[in-house]
Amino acid sequence: MDKNLEMAALAVLIHDLRKHKKVTLNELAERIGRSVGFLSQVERGLSRPTVEDLTAIAEALDVPTTYFYSLPKPKELDWVTRPDERRTLYLAGGITDIMASPTLQGAFMVVDSLLEPGASSGERQMSDRSEQAGYVLEGQLTLWLGEDEQSATLYPGDVFQVPSYARLRYANQGYTPARVLWIYT
């Protein structure tokens, strides 16, 4: 799928999940601290959510953030993914997440995350029900963890692991793109 089709598919997924959960646009906006107008634009594919927004939407609608990676693409083998078979989320804030795992049915999933210089998950910390780990492949990634926002800047070869529901935010504060192999349980 191309970028516009991927964005449209995410918009439909968010809209349909909200409707299925019988949550109004106004209720969801209130739960995640965003405007109704913004959410309406996201559901129509006119605006892209940030990682922080997507995580908040998932929490408010009681699904894991990985739910939004669930639109399958046709694959040659169901246990292998090739680069052209991967689902891509183009998020606001300069982040592109590519679903590398062949399936969401296992105990974990792998996401290839690309962060442009200055890209950020958002200004507020977020919490996800998944345990998370990451391996920095290129560039640099700064993480802020916990209530005291303990920070660490990671470089190629560095690895992090945070428990479920940990308060976290992250950014590429470098001058070159960053690439992180992200693992979610």
User: How far does Cα 28 stand from its chain's mean position?
Assistant: 18
- Ranges in the chain annotated CATH 2.60.120.10: 83-184
- At residue 136, the pLDDT reads 98
Q: Phi-psi bin for 126: left (phi > 0), alpha (psi -120 to 50), beta?
A: beta
Pairing of strands 159-162, 109-115: unpaired
pLDDT at 85: 81
d(CA 39, CA 75): 32
Task: Write out the residue limits of the CATH 1.10.260.40 domain(s) in the chain.
Answer: 3-69
**What is the radius of gyration, based on Cα positions, of the chain?**
16
For residue 71, the model assigns a pLDDT of 62
Cα distance between residue 121 and residue 123, in whole Å: 7
Task: Assess contact for 57 and 21: CB atoms under 8 A.
Answer: no
Give the architecture-level CATH label for domain 3-69: Orthogonal Bundle (1.10)
What was the pLDDT predicted at 88? 87
Render each residue's pLDDT in the chain as its tens digit; 185 residues: 578 888 888 998 899 899 988 999 999 999 999 999 999 999 999 999 999 999 999 999 999 888 888 766 667 787 888 888 888 888 999 999 999 988 777 889 999 999 999 999 998 899 888 899 999 999 999 999 999 999 999 999 999 999 999 999 999 999 999 999 999 99
Name the helix (H) or strand (E) containing 110: strand 109-115
* pTM of the predicted protein model: 0.78
Distance of alpha carbon 181 from alpha carbon 140, whole angstroms: 12
Q: Which CATH class is domain 83-184?
A: mainly beta
* Under 8 Å between Cβ of 131 and 181: no
Alpha carbon distance 97, 55 (integer Å): 13
How deeply is 104 buried, as exposed, middle or buried, from its count of CB atoms within 10 A (0-12, 13-18, 19+)?
A: middle
